[in-house]
């Protein structure tokens, strides 16, 4: 699944910018209340309620482009990617002809929605459009590279990845993201060169970045040391997640699960950590607790991890021997994610139970 980049199209990351832009474009008049309320609802994951507010905003004459984009974000939260694409397209169509940051961010949103709806070519075209207008937009090269991987066009993928790091040569996270993308595509050996280049950067790497690099390179003891330092310094979820995965790789699944549980005490709404906790618990045979973690994660409504949570939920019911429930949930899963080949194979297995 193509992820949402934090710096461009994470819904939470742009809400403040949306509100500011709304004030600029409308003068913060009283009639902007519905849109403001809708954005707050989106931030809290209340997507159906947000759509209702946006319908009211549209009827009351609030800024149409902002309404369409916020509605697109809400539909993405509901995993209704085709409708999200329609809304983002309307937001772009109503442009006054002057390309703004609004258009750039909306285009990123639309590309991800296209990709997740199965329109791979459309996503490729949208990233190409971004690059044509912003030739130094390195993230567009990175994401188009991921799309090329999905299209089995390895040469163009590598070319775009190389362009991305050329435009952001001192960003270690970009090197790591490229490795992870190539690894997911079965090209981890080709991706190793990016990790080596990241280690040689003329910049100070944080403990989290070093730990993440060591983890990707399979040097788990070094990864553990760096990530433990990162967790101690900042206690952020990403470092905790990688530290837990490092302990899993070292064979200490129980301690990994304890790390995730400890983190969730202070941040119970982190769906990514809940998902990883559930995976840990599945591996040690605690299927009921794993199912509870997946269910809690799904309730949060984080679109970036929804697909994984729902697939793992099906697996948990299988492990519990409740095949009827697993079959029903698999049918729902395939309605949302019809292109998942692993799920299609698993569905064939479930039909025999």
SS3 6: coil
Say what the pLDDT of residue 345 is: 87
Per-position DSSP letters for 209-227, written without gaps between them: HHHHHHHHTT-HHHHHHHH
Pick out the chain residues at pLDDT < 50: 5-20, 22-31
Q: Which of 347, 344, 286 is nearest to 316 (CA)?
A: 286
Please give the pLDDT value at position 286: 95
Do the beta carbons of residue 291 and residue 318 sit within 8 Å?
Answer: no
Q: Which pLDDT value is given to residue 49?
A: 94
The DSSP secondary structure of 303-330, one letter per residue, reads TTTHHHHHHHHHHHHHHTT-HHHHHHHH
pLDDT (0 to 100) of residue 194: 92
pLDDT for the residue 201: 83
Q: What is the pTM of this model?
A: 0.75
- Under a CB-based contact definition with an 8 Å cutoff, are residues 185 and 151 in contact? no
Measured CA to CA, the distance from residue 293 to residue 5 in angstroms comes to 25
| Burial class for 93, CB neighbours closer than 10 Å (0-12, 13-18, 19+) | exposed
Residue 21 contacts by C-beta under 8 Å, 6 or more apart in sequence? 66, 102
pLDDT at 337: 81
Domains of the chain: 1-118 (1.25.40.10), 264-353 (1.25.40.10)
Which pLDDT belongs to residue 166? 94
Non-local CB neighbours of 14 within 8 Å, separated by 6+ positions: 105
Question: Which position has the token pair 């509100």?
Answer: 19
Q: Give the pLDDT of residue 235.
A: 64
The three state secondary structure string of 125-136 is: HHHHHHHHHCCC
């Amino acid at each position: 699944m193509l992820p949402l980049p934090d710096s461009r199209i994470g819904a939470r990351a742009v809400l403040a910018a949306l509100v500011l832009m709304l004030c600029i474009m409308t003068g913060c008049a009283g009639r902007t209340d519905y849109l403001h309320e809708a954005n707050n609802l989106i931030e809290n994951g209340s997507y159906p309620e947000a759509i209702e507010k946006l319908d009211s905003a549209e009827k009351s004459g609030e800024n149409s482009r902002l309404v369409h984009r916020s509605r697109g974000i809400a539909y993405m939260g509901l995993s209704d990617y085709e409708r999200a694409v329609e809304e983002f397209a309307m937001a772009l169509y109503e442009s006054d002809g002057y390309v703004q940051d609004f258009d750039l961010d909306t285009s990123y949103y639309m590309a991800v929605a296209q990709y997740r709806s199965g329109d791979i070519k459309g996503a490729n075209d949208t990233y190409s459009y971004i690059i044509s207008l912003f030739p130094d937009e390195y993230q567009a090269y990175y994401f188009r590279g991921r799309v090329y991987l999905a299209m089995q066009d390895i040469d163009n993928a590598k070319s775009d990845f190389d362009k991305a790091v050329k435009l952001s040569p001192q960003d270690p996270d970009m090197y790591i993201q490229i490795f992870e993308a190539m690894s997911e595509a079965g090209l981890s050996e080709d991706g190793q060169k990016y990790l080596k280049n990241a280690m040689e950067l003329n910049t100070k790497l944080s403990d989290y970045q070093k730990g993440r690099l060591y983890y990707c390179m399979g040097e788990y003891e070094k990864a553990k040391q760096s990530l433990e330092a990162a967790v101690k310094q900042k206690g952020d979820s990403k470092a905790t997640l990688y530290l837990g995965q490092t302990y899993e790789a070292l064979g200490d699944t129980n301690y990994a699960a304890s790390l995730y549980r400890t983190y969730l005490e202070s941040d119970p709404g982190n769906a990514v950590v809940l998902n990883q906790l559930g995976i840990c618990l599945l591996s040690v045979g605690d299927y009921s607790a794993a199912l509870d973690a997946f269910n809690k994660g799904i309730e949060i409504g984080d679109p970036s991890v929804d697909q994984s949570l729902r697939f793992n939920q099906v697996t948990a019911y299988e492990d519990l021997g409740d095949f009827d429930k697993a079959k029903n949930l698999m049918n729902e899963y395939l309605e949302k994610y019809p292109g998942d080949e692993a799920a299609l194979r698993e569905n064939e297995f479930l039909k025999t139970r």
